[in-house]
Amino acid sequence: MTQIEQFADPAVLARPHRWPPGDGIGVFHDVRLAVAPEAVPAGTLDARLAERYLSALDVADAGGRAPECRRPLVQYRCHTGVHPVQFALAGLHAHIAHDLVLAVVDTCRTRDCEPAALEGEFERVGDLLALLEERIHDDLMPGPDLLRIADPLAYLVSTWNLERAREAAWTAARVLWRLRELPSAAEEFARQTDAGAGLVVRFLLTPCR
């Protein structure tokens, strides 16, 4: 079984992890698992996205150097002033701004195709991301009584927009694909994209207690 075929198996995404309850990285993973499709065909953008996510998960789990967009999650993963909904949205942004961008490029490279050929798959992934955002708001957002006390949290959560994040990821993936013949430029662009995503993640993790 190839690596991609392994990620096509939903049981791989559902593998147990060792994070304690309330761990910020585990908060996002639990929600991600709850909306994961029952089957992910090998070689699809969905499978590449799962591969990129699980690779980042392994790095965080092993205490390695995570991508810049995930370093705030590692740093604040046990901060008592950060709400679960913040961890989940921060994890979702990293998933889109980092994992999805690279997954598009990975898929194009494997198939030797332009990003335009993946638009349909990108939209289907977008539907999954929308379901994930909905689950985060429904399950993790504090009720109205608590929000009257913690209004800054409501403001913070409302500043993040899924569609804008997806649009930015699609643009970044297309640019990165165009730069494939210029390795130094591609590496620099990928690094700056990661850094920009890290700023958003850090903002989303602003303590609200």
* pLDDT, position 176: 98
Distance, in Å, from the CA atom of 35 to the CA atom of 48, rounded to the nearest integer, reads: 17
* pLDDT, position 143: 67
Q: If you write DSSP's letter for every residue of 153-187 in order, what string do you get?
A: HHHHHHT--HHHHHHHHHHHHHHHHHGGG-HHHHH
* pLDDT, position 150: 57
Distance, in Å, from the CA atom of 163 to the CA atom of 92, rounded to the nearest integer, reads: 12
- Do the beta carbons of residue 208 and residue 141 sit within 8 Å? no
Of 27, 107, 85, residue with least CA distance to 60: 27
- Which residues have C-beta within 8 Å of that of residue 147, sequence separation ≥ 6? 153, 154
pTM: 0.88
- Do the beta carbons of residue 209 and residue 156 sit within 8 Å? no
Phi-psi region of 22 (alpha: psi -120 to 50; beta: other; left: phi over 0): left
* pLDDT, position 134: 94
* pLDDT, position 152: 82
Distance, in Å, from the CA atom of 197 to the CA atom of 191, rounded to the nearest integer, reads: 10
* pLDDT, position 18: 64
* pLDDT, position 208: 82
The DSSP output letter for 95 is: I
* pLDDT, position 56: 86
- Do the beta carbons of residue 11 and residue 31 sit within 8 Å? no
At 161, which amino acid appears? N
Per-residue pLDDT of the chain (209 residues; tens, 9 = 90+): 333 333 444 444 555 556 777 789 999 999 998 888 877 888 899 999 999 999 888 887 777 888 999 999 999 999 999 999 999 999 999 999 999 999 999 999 999 999 999 999 999 999 999 999 999 988 888 766 555 555 788 888 889 999 999 999 999 999 999 999 999 999 999 999 999 999 999 999 999 86
* pLDDT, position 57: 83
CB burial of 95-131 (b: ≥16 within 10 Å; e: otherwise) equals bbbbbbbbbbbbbbeeeeeebeebeebbeebbebbee
